[in-house]
């Protein structure tokens, strides 16, 4: 995969891999022969949907997952195809969690483009209830890209002990990050994977 050149789309100055590029690689690369990509609708109404995509290896074991949510009113295309677009985004995120096409970003160009359209739609809606009480700020959730930057940056900068790395890995698992992706972050940070595996297996 290291030498594979994925087609990207430039959005606001940053390159993003397209979902179809990740799917083509997954379907044609020999490393994934016999593997499967499945989807499951978790929530569906006339205006919105949530879909989970799963990547299964040749033994039928789930090795990566990805979720996506789409609103019917978020774009012109979604008026007729919000379920299909939701499935595409879920596929892209599941394959990204597997480690395919993540050199520039976890998010795909399709996902980022849809997010921008949602933001533009919100800005275009008339402001209502200006005199009502302000709502408390929403809790800030870190994106996978932000978590990766913190994770890798901390290890490279602080040079923590293997015991500290073990706690960091466990905390990252608790945030829903797939073990395969955490392993790729550890390698990127330059960790001795043999020692890390020994520490993780103890206790």
Nearest to 51 by CA among 35, 71, 67: 67
Do residues 107 and 148 share a domain? no
Q: What angle do CA 47, 79, 21 make, to 5 degrees?
A: 105
Do residues 117 and 149 share a domain? no
Residue 135 counted as domain residue = no
Do residues 115 and 175 share a domain? no
Range scoring the smallest mean pLDDT among 25-39, 60-74, 128-142, 156-170:
128-142
Residue 134 counted as domain residue = no
Residue 131 counted as domain residue = no
Residue 127 counted as domain residue = no
Do residues 153 and 104 share a domain? no
CA distance 196 to 198: 5
Do residues 166 and 81 share a domain? no
Which residues form the domain of 193? Answer: 144-201
Do residues 12 and 69 share a domain? yes
Span 25-54, average pLDDT: 94
CA distance 26 to 121: 33
pLDDT digits (tens, 9 = 90+) for 95-146: 989 988 876 554 554 555 556 555 665 666 565 544 555 666 555 556 778 8
Do residues 155 and 115 share a domain? no
Do residues 104 and 190 share a domain? no
CA distance 117 to 12: 13
Q: Does the pLDDT value for residue 184 go beyond 80?
A: yes
CA distance 42 to 29: 29
Confidence of residue 20 (pLDDT cuts 50, 70, 90): confident
CA distance 25 to 28: 5
**More confident position, 107 or 168:** 168
Residue 128 counted as domain residue = no
pLDDT cut 70: percent of the chain above it: 75
CA distance 159 to 87: 40
Domain count, the chain: 2
Confidence of residue 196 (pLDDT cuts 50, 70, 90): confident
**More confident position, 155 or 9:** 155
Residue 154 counted as domain residue = yes
């Amino acid at each position: 995969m290291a030498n594979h050149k994925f087609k990207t789309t430039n959005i606001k100055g940053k390159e993003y891999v397209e979902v179809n590029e990740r799917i083509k690689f997954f379907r044609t690369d020999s490393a994934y022969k016999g593997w499967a990509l499945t989807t499951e609708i978790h929530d569906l109404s006339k205006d919105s949907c949530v879909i989970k995509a799963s990547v299964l290896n040749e033994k039928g074991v789930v090795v990566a997952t990805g979720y996506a949510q789409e609103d019917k009113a978020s774009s012109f295309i979604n008026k007729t195809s919000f379920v299909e677009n939701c499935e595409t985004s879920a596929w892209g995120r599941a394959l990204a969690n597997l480690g395919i096409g993540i050199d520039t970003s976890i998010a795909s160009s399709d996902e980022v483009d849809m997010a921008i359209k949602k933001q533009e739609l919100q800005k275009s809606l008339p402001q209502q209830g200006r005199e009502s009480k302000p709502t408390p700020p929403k809790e800030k959730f870190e994106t996978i890209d932000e978590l990766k930057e913190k994770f890798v940056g901390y290890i490279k900068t602080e040079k923590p002990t293997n015991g500290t790395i073990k706690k960091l890995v466990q905390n990252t698992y608790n945030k829903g990050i797939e073990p395969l992706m955490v392993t790729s972050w550890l390698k990127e940070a330059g960790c001795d994977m043999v020692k890390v595996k020994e520490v993780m297996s103890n206790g």
